[in-house]
Amino acid sequence: MPQSPYDPSRVEAWCRHVWKRDGTFATPAEETGAPSTFIHAGILAATGKIHTGHVRTYTVADVCARRARSAGDNVLWALGFEAFGPTPESAAIEHRIPPQDWIEYCTARMRDQLNCLGVSVDWSRCFVTNQPEYYRWTQWVFLRFLERGLVYRDDSIGRCCGHCHTDLTAVTDDARCPQCGTSIRPTRVPHWYLRVPIPVRETEQYRIGDRPISRNRSWGIPVPVIHCPACGQVPVPDRDLPVRLPENLMPKVESNTLSNHPEFIVCSCPICHGPGRRDADTLDVDVNAFWKLVPLCVPAEARSEQMFTHPDLRRWLPAAQIVCGTDEAGGWINDRLFFKAAADCGYFPDLADREPVRNILVHATPSSRGRRIGKSLRDRIDPDDAVRRYGADSVRLAILEANPRRIFGWSEATLQGNYKFLSSLWDLVVGFSPSRPSIPRNGAEPDYVGSRRRRFHRRSEAAFHKIEAAYEQQAFHLVVKEVKLLFGRLTPFAAETRRSDGTRLAADDAAFGAVIRRLLHDLEPLAPHICYRLNAHLANDKGATSPAERPAADRSSRTMGYAEVSLVK
């Protein structure tokens, strides 16, 4: 590799090519005796653009996944895309295209954005919720809840947006639509409700009551229920799932097109075989979220028949680590409810205490210039633009150098500072070549030379212990801090030990090279592209270093230091 300046676009493109070519992030197909670690960061709404909240969530989760791989774990790290809901429906109406086409465009773009960030997910395990083979199982889950009395239908005073013409499950503090800002108007409408008989985790200190889980809109998963004049409310038999959306469906602003779609709405009662009508409501996206952990644990080719019985479920559940924002933390009550109900039905028999998750890390919402930013507010800084100008690794470090449990300030200065750090790291490592001539020690060396080397070793070891401890506590901001402090000691040592002809004593060369390799190893989960490329340079090879060539991780502790649930506002 020539001693050229740091060019993140070239470095990162090279890494993406190698990782894709080698299938680096594929989920191990078989158990190898190493721990199986399932990392999850929620379902990503298919809006077509990631915002800074996404960047923080998926960067933090990716650090957890990469760190686990570096310790030798078998890692499952994948995600799903939520295709339904008012946002994609409104976008499809605005662009006058079928929702399916809009979702296809959005998911492809967001995949590219995540790839450019270096998010090391296994795309073969991912899913999109508007695939009939997927939402068949969401309907199946709904029916199991219905059988157990956890879902029921009732009339209530609903909240409807006069502009979006959609029922709302939540409004802003001043009683406005969260999508368009229009004041809401109360209406009496029938809804499907989720009965919530258990409290939220004690650490979140609140309870939630029964709440609606259906919408009177066409772009969603059809409720698998038939209304028969003779038999009443009749569940669709499992053998008839999925109840599919019409292929030519085009949503309208003013109405639910399913209600007036004869090919969909008119049907036969499965009990008396008389005329019936399908329920015209669609399920809220939260119902997809109930069981989002399950499909990721099952290979894609086995989901059609073994979604809830595949042996890999025993291997990956409970999830080792969940990462989410404060606005999503309360939703895990639904997952717990689902797994408890499924266990009552005989599923997941090996799931201890029926709990699907071991640990949750809840991060605060990003901010810019003192204003919180996320999915409901337009970003002040565009993540795509930041990656283009500074590189993905600089963006990742800008995210990670702030305590994940606190609000952090997203700023241009932070991006510039991390780009400067990575450029200096690049120059130092590229300037160090393992094949450069070094001078063997002949006879006794001056005392100060050995003392300097021993002092450098002690300080480096102390820094590495601090880095390890910070990883154990998931204090990634402290990892960034300690790595930068250690790097600050590398530069003077390199200058002090270099002779006028560019050579070093072999012992100094070995000490310097060992610290560089360990530093790159510990920094790689945070800034993977530059570390991967520099490791390849140090290996003096055309390809990247193999795991066997990397420094061994400390496996004395089999926990990754997962934090308890923490909600910091």
Per-residue pLDDT of 311-322, as tens digits, reads 999 999 999 999
Residue 151, both tokens: 């879902």
Task: State the burial class of residue 501 (Cβ atoms within 10 Å of its Cβ: 0-12, 13-18, 19+).
Answer: exposed
Q: Residue 563: what residue type?
A: A
pLDDT at residue 567, rounded to an integer? 29
Tell me, yes or no, whether 492 lies in a domain.
yes
Output the domain CATH number for residue 450.
1.10.730.10
Tell me, yes or no, whether 244 lies in a domain.
yes
One domain for residues 281 and 417: no
| Sign of the torsion formed by the C-alpha atoms of 133, 319, 45 and 89 | positive
**DSSP bridge partners of 185:** 160
Average pLDDT over residues 432-450: 67
DSSP string of 79-107? -EEE--SHHHHHHHHHHTS-HHHHHHHHH
Average pLDDT over residues 551-564: 39
**In whole angstroms, how far apart are CA 360 and each of 64, 201, 356, 562?**
12, 11, 11, 8
pLDDT at 245 over 90: yes
Residue 549, both tokens: 């060539």
pLDDT at 243 over 70: yes
Per-residue pLDDT of 185-197, as tens digits, reads 777 778 899 887 7
Q: Please, what is the average pLDDT of the chain? A: 85
pLDDT at residue 52, rounded to an integer? 86
Per-residue pLDDT of 263-279, as tens digits, reads 899 999 999 999 999 99
CA 341 and chain centroid, separation: 26
pLDDT at residue 27, rounded to an integer? 95
Least confident window among 18-22, 23-27, 60-64, 285-289: 285-289
pLDDT at residue 333, rounded to an integer? 78
pLDDT at residue 255, rounded to an integer? 65
pLDDT-based confidence at residue 206 (cuts at 50, 70, 90): low
- Domain count for the chain, please give it: 2
How far, in Å, CA of 49 to CA of 110, rounded?
6
- Of 230, 259, 285, the one marking the end of a domain is 285
Q: Residue 363: what residue type?
A: H
- Tokens 């500072």 appear where? 417
pLDDT at residue 165, rounded to an integer? 58
pLDDT at residue 459, rounded to an integer? 94
Average pLDDT over residues 36-43: 94
Crossing angle of helices 8-22 and 99-116, in 10° steps, is: 110
- Of 268, 285, 302, the one marking the end of a domain is 285
Tell me, yes or no, whether 205 lies in a domain.
yes
Nearest to 487 by CA among 432, 542, 441, 405: 432
| Sign of the torsion formed by the C-alpha atoms of 295, 296, 300 and 306 | negative
Contacts of 267 (CB under 8 A, 6+ apart): 226, 276, 277, 278
Contacts of 116 (CB under 8 A, 6+ apart): 12, 16, 384, 387, 392
Q: What percent of the chain has pLDDT over 70?
A: 85
Tell me, yes or no, whether 121 lies in a domain.
no
pLDDT at 476 over 90: yes
- Of 243, 262, 285, the one marking the end of a domain is 285
Contacts of 435 (CB under 8 A, 6+ apart): 540
Angle 105-110-115 from CA coordinates, rounded to 5°: 130
Tell me, yes or no, whether 24 lies in a domain.
no
Nearest to 521 by CA among 558, 549, 560, 561: 549
Angle 42-30-302 from CA coordinates, rounded to 5°: 60
Tell me, yes or no, whether 228 lies in a domain.
yes
How far, in Å, CA of 66 to CA of 86, rounded?
34
**How many other C-beta atoms can be found within 10 angstroms of the C-beta atom of residue 247?**
8
pLDDT-based confidence at residue 309 (cuts at 50, 70, 90): very high
Tell me, yes or no, whether 225 lies in a domain.
yes
How far, in Å, CA of 450 to CA of 444, rounded?
10
Per-residue pLDDT of 115-158, as tens digits, reads 999 999 999 999 999 999 999 999 999 999 999 998 999 987 76
Q: What percent of the chain has pLDDT over 90?
A: 53
CA 193 and chain centroid, separation: 28
Query: Would you give the DSSP letter of residue 374?
Result: B
How far, in Å, CA of 410 to CA of 530, rounded?
22
Higher-scoring residue by pLDDT: 8, 156: 8
pLDDT at residue 26, rounded to an integer? 96
Nearest to 380 by CA among 406, 404, 415, 405: 415
Tell me, yes or no, whether 185 lies in a domain.
yes
pLDDT-based confidence at residue 212 (cuts at 50, 70, 90): confident
How far, in Å, CA of 224 to CA of 146, rounded?
10
Per-residue pLDDT of 355-392, as tens digits, reads 899 999 988 776 555 455 554 444 456 899 999 999 99
Q: How many CA atoms lie within 13 Å of 339's alpha carbon, on the beta-carbon side?
A: 22
pLDDT at residue 556, rounded to an integer? 42
**DSSP bridge partners of 186:** 159
- Tokens 């083979």 appear where? 133
- Looking at beta carbons, which pairs linking 152-157 to residues 24 or more positions away fall under 8 Å? 152/192, 152/193, 152/195, 153/190, 153/191, 153/192, 153/193, 153/225, 153/233, 154/190, 154/191, 154/193, 155/188, 155/189, 155/190, 155/191, 156/188, 156/189, 156/191, 156/212, 157/186, 157/187, 157/188
Average pLDDT over residues 317-346: 85
Residue 545 is part of which domain span? 413-549
Contacts of 483 (CB under 8 A, 6+ apart): 467, 519, 522, 523, 526
SS3 211: strand
pLDDT at residue 345, rounded to an integer? 86
Least confident window among 468-472, 474-478, 544-548: 544-548
pLDDT at residue 169, rounded to an integer? 55
Average pLDDT over residues 224-231: 97
Per-residue pLDDT of 532-548, as tens digits, reads 999 999 887 444 444 43
pLDDT at 421 over 50: yes
